[in-house]
Structure 1
Amino acid sequence: MVKKSVVLSIVGAVVLTIGVIMAAMSILNTDSADLKADDPAAMETSQEDVSSELEVPEKGDEGASTSDVPQRPDCPPGPVAGVELPCLGGEEAGDEATDEGISLVNIWAWWCEPCREELPYLEEISQSHPEWNVVGVHADANAGNGAAFLNDLGVDMPSYQDESNLFAGTLGLPGVIPITLLVVDGEVQEQFIQPFKSAEEIETSVTEALA
């Protein structure tokens, strides 16, 4: 009887100990959950861990929709050196097509620093030589940035939009910008693969090429 009582006492003690341990673990888990809910720092850390695993796409890589493109002057009717392109920030308007007579076509992009210096000179040429069609071709998918770039420079020269390198690819132009083309009646007569440093330099180069 003594041995049986001892065994029962031991079993009871073990059961009681297990119950106490389980109760303590339950209390600890509840407190931990409450702490996370009440601690903003813990929640912020959790959000940071999640966001660091996400790949956030960069803005501005894709072309802007038509509604996002700032208003620009209308373009002469195309094509441009035989290539059909949409007008950047405007429509095609006017009676004289780009491929009629003498045209200067400048290939540029909104991120091009030499273009920033050269484009105002082309604007001067368009004012001093109204007999020449002076137009641009924006060689980048982001039409919104291109139109804003010209507006910031105060350049009213019409420009076409080329988001897929169609113009340079069709004409077999080198993969550099800026490039200025002298186009006569739709045919490329001269390529100026350099940034011009003044309006006078443009005028002299074109006059010599036409001679």
Structure 2
Amino acid sequence: MRVRTTLWAVGWLVAGLLLASCGPDQPSATDSTSPSAVAGADKLAACPSTESKPPVSNGLPDVSLPCLGSGPDIRLADLRGPLVINVWAQWCGPCREEAPYLADLAKRATGKLQLLGIDYDDPRAELAVKFAGDQQLSYPHLVDPDKQLRQPFKIGGPPISVFVNSDGAIAYVHHGPFTSRQQLDQLVRDKLGVTL
């Protein structure tokens, strides 16, 4: 009986030491692979500083996300449109299919419309950086590794695109990939009033 009690106590002591070593002072896996530390991240569009604004009714969630490239974290509730936010992941086949339409839109929309990408639930920051660079997605990208946007954007999986008007309200959420330049242009015109 005494041997069992001693073994039990030693087991709890070892378990306690193991748990203590995994506390908040230890770097997490995401700390060691922060997006901006990934090779090539500095070549992506920098995330701009945003002015703090009050959240709006039917607006973007009050969530701050880190930049995939360089630049500060961005609080989504501060953003105003006209803006298209595209939620993607490098492992997502349909995201790859629609990427050329978004790259083309970014080139044509300068001064009329903003674009913002969000790399969602993506365990490979280096592949996300490579994807954004290879696809010539010349606008800023944020990272949502913890799926903070799952509930507010009702994400079953990427891609989804959120159309935000000039007041900061969500005008429309498009689930699934864009299938043509014409489809994307039509949605930008109909939902945001921007003609390209």
User: What's the TM-score once normalised by structure 2's chain length?
Assistant: 0.66
1:134 is paired with a residue whose SS is strand
1:165 is paired with a residue whose SS is coil
> Hey, which of these two has a bigger chunk of helix by percent?
1
Question: Aligned runs of 1:179-198 on 2, under 5 Å?
Answer: 179-184=160-165, 185-198=167-180
2:157 match: 176
The one-letter code sitting in structure 1 at the alignment partner of 2:157 is V
Please identify, of 103-112 and 82-91, the stretch whose mean Cα deviation from structure 2 is larger.
82-91
2:83 match: 103
Distance apart, 1:172 and its partner CA: 4.2
**1:149 to 2:131 alignment:** yes
**1:81 to 2:57 alignment:** no
- Which structure would you say has the larger RCO, counting Cα contacts within 8 Å and 6 or more residues apart? 2
Deviating 4+ runs (over 6 angstroms):
none
Taking the aligned partners of 1:160 and 1:69, their CA distance within structure 2 comes to: 16
Taking the aligned partners of 1:117 and 1:67, their CA distance within structure 2 comes to: 27
Give the superposed CA RMSD: 2.5
2:118 match: 137
Taking the aligned partners of 1:75 and 1:81, their CA distance within structure 2 comes to: 17
Distance apart, 1:188 and its partner CA: 1.4
The 8 Å contact of residues 69 and 143 in structure 1, kept in 2 or not, is answered as no
2:65 is paired with a residue whose SS is coil
Taking the aligned partners of 1:98 and 1:199, their CA distance within structure 2 comes to: 29
Structure 1 runs not aligned, ≥5 long: 1-61
Structure 2 runs not aligned, ≥5 long: 1-28, 53-58
2:38 match: 68
The one-letter code sitting in structure 1 at the alignment partner of 2:178 is F
Please identify, of 104-113 and 65-74, the stretch whose mean Cα deviation from structure 2 is larger.
65-74
- When Rg is computed on C-alpha atoms for both structures, the one with the higher figure is 1
Number of matched pairs: 146
Distance apart, 1:125 and its partner CA: 1.0
Taking the aligned partners of 2:98 and 2:189, their CA distance within structure 1 comes to: 18
The 8 Å contact of residues 136 and 160 in structure 1, kept in 2 or not, is answered as yes
The one-letter code sitting in structure 2 at the alignment partner of 1:113 is G
Q: 1:164 to 1:124 in 2, by over 3 A?
A: same
Taking the aligned partners of 1:134 and 1:194, their CA distance within structure 2 comes to: 17
Percent of pairs with identical residues: 29
